[in-house]
Amino acid sequence: MENPIVKAENYNGYFGDNHVVKDVNISIKKHEVIAVMGPSGCGKTTFLRGINRMHELIPGGTSKGKILLDGQNVFDMNVIYVRYKIGMVFQRPNPFPNLSIYENVVAGYMLNGIKMSKADKDVIVERSLTSAALWNEVKDSLHKKGTFLSGGQQQRLCIARAIAMQPELILFDEPTSALDPISTSSVENLFHELKSNYTLIIVTHNMQQAARVSDKTAFFYMGELVEFDDTKKMFTAPADQRTQNYITGRFS
């Protein structure tokens, strides 16, 4: 088997004394789309934020164990480098309100003090917006504020901003929960296109979405990774009764 892009080894996440993610072990290959599902408060987002070390930004948030990116423990790496390699898209579209569409795409370079020519920026902006299926919609209004876009367009702008840095891995925290069905569909279609160049990990409450977009699904419950398998198998013949109960809506 090829080396995994991400491997968690006994990863634990805490809020103060509250143990919210418990001894997670998981191995994720390149160019896979992974759905992470489970009931509210089961540790999905804490695990996701642990991967790119955003969990430790939360007051009281601490991590133990290892998360390996290309075989290196992210907790031993420079945190700026970690976030350079691992993009993130949040639940609600959050383009920088004072920046234009163009400036939003290259914001990661600007914030990290990376100098580049306008020609290089132009290439990155067009490439990233094209990859996010947004270029044709905004190419004539690049210098308008990003907030002038619709919600679905704003979320695709945030995806363009993430992929502008050419990460290996992109994390999505319920990226369509604030969007209407048409915008949700456009973002889901994008996932299929992005997997040829990136590995995607998507936290979702929506089981139908997990079934539609992912190659594999991880089911979390009470802070534990209960099951991780091919999505089709997980939804048709789960190995654990708790997974079966969740999928069939029998959780009390």
Q: Is residue 96 part of a domain?
A: yes
The string of pLDDT tens digits covering residues 216-232 is 999 999 999 999 999 99
Task: Enter the tokens of residue 183.
Answer: 């915008």
Q: Read off the pLDDT of each residue in 145-150 and give the average, rounded to a whole number.
A: 93
Does the pLDDT at position 214 exceed 90? Answer: yes
pLDDT, position 107: 94
The string of pLDDT tens digits covering residues 27-54 is 999 999 999 999 988 999 999 999 999 9
Q: Is residue 54 part of a domain?
A: no
- Mean pLDDT over the full length of the chain: 94
The string of pLDDT tens digits covering residues 102-125 is 999 999 888 878 899 999 999 999
pLDDT, position 251: 66
CA pair distance 24, 222, nearest whole angstrom: 12
pLDDT, position 181: 92
pLDDT band at 189 (very low <50, low <70, confident <90, very high): very high
pLDDT band at 176 (very low <50, low <70, confident <90, very high): very high
Q: Read off the pLDDT of each residue in 149-166 and give the average, rounded to a whole number.
A: 95
Q: Is residue 18 part of a domain?
A: no
pLDDT, position 112: 79
The string of pLDDT tens digits covering residues 44-91 is 999 999 999 999 999 999 999 999 999 999 999 999 899 889 999 999
Number of residues assigned to the chain: 252
Q: What is the pTM of this model?
A: 0.94
Which residue segment(s) compose the domain that 38 sits in? Answer: 30-43+80-247
pLDDT, position 235: 95
pLDDT band at 1 (very low <50, low <70, confident <90, very high): low
pLDDT, position 204: 94
Q: Is residue 161 part of a domain?
A: yes
pLDDT, position 114: 85
Candidates 107, 200, 207; CA nearest to 160 is: 107
pLDDT, position 113: 83
pLDDT, position 208: 93
Number of domains in the chain: 1
CA pair distance 223, 47, nearest whole angstrom: 9
Q: Is residue 123 part of a domain?
A: yes
Q: Read off the pLDDT of each residue in 239-245 and give the average, rounded to a whole number.
A: 94
Q: Is residue 21 part of a domain?
A: no
Q: Is residue 6 part of a domain?
A: no
Strand order in the sheet with 169-173: 86-89, 169-173, 199-203, 33-37, 216-221, 224-230
* Residue matched to tokens 């290259």: 106
Alpha-carbon distances of 239 from 202, 207, 214, 228, 244, rounded to whole Å: 22, 17, 18, 9, 8
Q: Is residue 24 part of a domain?
A: no
Does the pLDDT at position 4 exceed 80? Answer: yes
The Cβ of residue 223 has, within 10 Å, a number of other Cβ atoms equal to: 21
> Which domain CATH number covers 180?
3.40.50.300
pLDDT band at 209 (very low <50, low <70, confident <90, very high): very high
